[in-house]
Amino acid sequence: MQSRKGQSIEDASMQVIEREIGSHSYNKKEWPIVRRVIHSTADFDFAMENSIIFHKEAIENGLKALKSGCNIVVDVNGVAGLLNKQNTKKFGNNVICRISDPEITRQVQESNKTRSQMSMRMSSSDIDEGLVVIGNAPTALFEVIQMVKEDITSPALIVGMPVGFISAAESKEELRKVDIPFITNKGRKGGSSSAAAIVNALFKMIE
C-alpha cells in the first residue's frame, strides 16, 4: 500500500497531467489507462489522438481475466518488476518471464529464433486465456501474433508496447490486424514502464 505522501505526489501528478492535456479523444474507460502511461513515462505524446489504440473488447477482457487470476506472461523482467505486486497477489495472478530460462538458451541454439521469440513460444500454454505483456522485444510480439494465427494460443489480452528503432512500429501495426483483444500504440515509443502501466491501470480500475 502506498504511503500518504506517495499517494499525494501521485494525485498531484495526475492533476498536472489533466491540467496540461485538457481535452482529448479517449473515452472514460480508456483515459485512466492512457493517463497512467503518461504518468509512468512523463511523455505527453501518448495523449495524442490514436497514439494508444484499444481493441473494442480489450478493457473488458483485461479486467475479467485479471480478476479471475489469469497468468501474466511478460517478455522481460523489467516489465515484471514494475507490476503492482499487491494486486497480483490479491487476485492470484502468476507473473511469468522465461527470458532467462536455461532451456531457452538451448532451444535458441537449435533454432533460428531469438531468446524473446523462444520464451513466448515456450509460454504458449501460460498465455492461453491470460495476459501477454510486451514492453521490449518486437520479436516477442511477432511470435505471439504468429502463435495466435496458428491457433496455438488465445490470450485474453495482448499488451503490445515494444520500444525501439527496428521492427517496433511494424510489430504493432501487425498486432492491429489480428482479431484478438489488444492495447498497443503507434510508432517506436513504448517500453517496460508503459506496458506495465497499462496492466497497473487495469488493476486500478478493478479496485
List residues with catalytic annotation: 39
For the chain, how are helix, strand and coil distributed in percent, rounded to 5?
Answer: 55, 10, 35
**3-class state of residue 169 by DSSP:** helix
Strand partners for 96 = 73
Order of strands, sheet of 95-96, starting from the edge strand that comes earlier in the sequence: 52-54, 182-185, 157-160, 131-134, 72-74, 95-96
Cα 199 to Cα 4, 83, 112, 155, distances in angstroms: 23, 7, 31, 14
Q: Are residues 16 and 38 in contact, defined by beta-carbon separation less than 8 angstroms?
A: no
Sign of CA dihedral 176, 182, 185, 189: negative
Q: Are residues 175 and 51 in contact, defined by beta-carbon separation less than 8 angstroms?
A: no
